[in-house]
Amino acid sequence: MELWFNEFQTDNLSLGARVKETLYMGKSEFQDIAVLDTFEFGRMLALDGVFQTSIFDEFIYHEMIAHVPLLVHPAPRQVLIIGGGDGGAAREVLRHAAVERLEMVEIDGAVVDVCRRYLPEISTVLITGHDKFHLKIGDGINHMAQAENKYDVIIVDCSDPIGPGEGLFARRFYEDCFKALKADGLFVQQTESPFYHQPLLKRLYKDIGAIFPITRTYLAQIPLYPGGTHCFTIGSKRYDPLAVDTAKLPDLATRYWNKEIQKSSFALPNFVKELFK
């Protein structure tokens, strides 16, 4: 008998992956956690039935959520990750020599433990540690409410706006991000699918744009996520991602990101531009 794991991406659409083996299935204080070894994506993490990351394509998401904002800011010394329990974003942030301190606040310690065990390629920093890396198991929303003028870059590497991730998509949270950033700081958040989450994307762009002087959305092609195209949105106090001189950027040993993509990922199709008018 074949075993399939299905994510219902909308009420009318699902993505299914044929499973070789169920490696872990459990429930934390916050959510259902599953790790599956699949034929198409290799080992993958699912939270509350939603695909989060996989060995097959995780590098795309983690490179794009980390390198793009860090290369917009000229001196990202103090960096914060909200969420990011698989450790992939932290792995990529720590490749930047300018970073002096990286804090990560993840609400669900069980996710960290599971990823250490079953996804070691992604969670290298969680396993080995790093002198610049500081992990806190706690509520990212509360952490942001208490921080002020502290960070150069904030990376909101969250799950979908349901369950423990819901409050990370609220305008109050973006106001706290603004407060927690230094005078020239910026933040980035994954902002879902431009095909299947258009009302959400439109609202988030409006909320962030009402708080930050510069708001830019960029795209990446990620097979695991709904429609294969995923959005990220930057709110910046001073630096415009469109003004980055890509010729001066460092050459990173990446699998997806490059200098051309740093620029071209902000070139939006017309149907996405229409959402923001």
CA atoms of 83 and 158, how far apart (whole Å): 5
How many independent structural domains does the chain possess?
2
User: Using an 8 Å Cβ cutoff, are 161 and 200 in contact?
Assistant: yes
Tell whether 115 and 237 lie within a shared domain.
Answer: yes
Determine the residue type at 105. Answer: V
101/199 same-domain check: yes
Structure tokens at 152: 């150069």
Domain boundary among 36, 54, 72: 54
Q: Average the pLDDT over 161-171 and give the result.
A: 83
- If asked whether residues 113 and 29 sit together in one domain, one would say no
The reply to whether 109 and 16 lie within a common domain is no
| Closest C-alpha among 238, 79, 259 to residue 153 | 79
Residue 44 sits in which domain range? 3-54
Instruction: Give the tens place of pLDDT for each residue, 24-55.
Output: 999 999 999 999 999 999 999 999 999 999 99
Task: Check: CB of residue 49 under 8 Å from CB of residue 7.
Answer: yes
CATH code assigned at 20: 2.30.140.10
* Per-position DSSP letters for 8-25, written without gaps between them: EEETTEEEEEEEEEEEEE
Distance, CA of 87 to CA of 8 (rounded, Å):
25
Q: Give Dmax (Cα) for the chain.
A: 58
Q: What is the pLDDT of residues 188-241, one digit of tens each?
A: 999 999 999 999 999 999 999 999 999 999 999 999 999 999 999 999 999 999
Closest CA to 165 of 52, 249, 65: 52
Let me know whether 40 and 63 are in one domain. no
CATH at residue 97: 3.40.50.150
Q: Which two tokens stand for residue 21?
A: 């083996």
From the list 35, 144, 29, 129, the residue with the least C-alpha distance to 87 is: 129
Same domain assignment for residues 75 and 50 = no
Answer yes or no: 184 catalytic. no
Checking if the pLDDT of 1 tops 70, the result is no
pLDDT value of position 9: 84
Alpha-carbon span 219 to 265, nearest angstrom: 5
Of the chain, the percentage scoring pLDDT greater than 70 comes to: 99
Residues 145 and 210 reside in one and the same domain: yes
What's the Rg (C-alpha) of the chain? 18
CB 224 within 8 A of CB 53: yes
My answer on whether 41 and 62 are in the same domain is no
Helix (H, G, I), strand (E, B) or coil at 229: strand
Specify whether 78 is located in the same domain as 116: yes
The verdict on 173 and 257 lying in the same domain is yes
- The residue annotated as part of the active site, out of 48, 57, 152, 157, is 157
The dihedral built from the CA positions of residue 220, 223, 229 and 231, taken in this order, carries a sign that is negative
In angstroms, the CA 89 to CA 155 distance is 8
Asked if pLDDT for residue 165 goes beyond 90, the answer is: no
pLDDT tens string 107-161: 999 999 999 999 999 999 999 999 999 999 999 999 999 999 999 999 999 987 7
Q: Of residues 134 and 162, which shows the higher confidence score?
A: 134
Average confidence (pLDDT) over 58-69 = 98
Same domain, 16 and 147: no
Cα–Cα distances (Å) from 211 to 135, 174, 189, in that order, read 28, 7, 14
Same domain, 120 and 251: yes
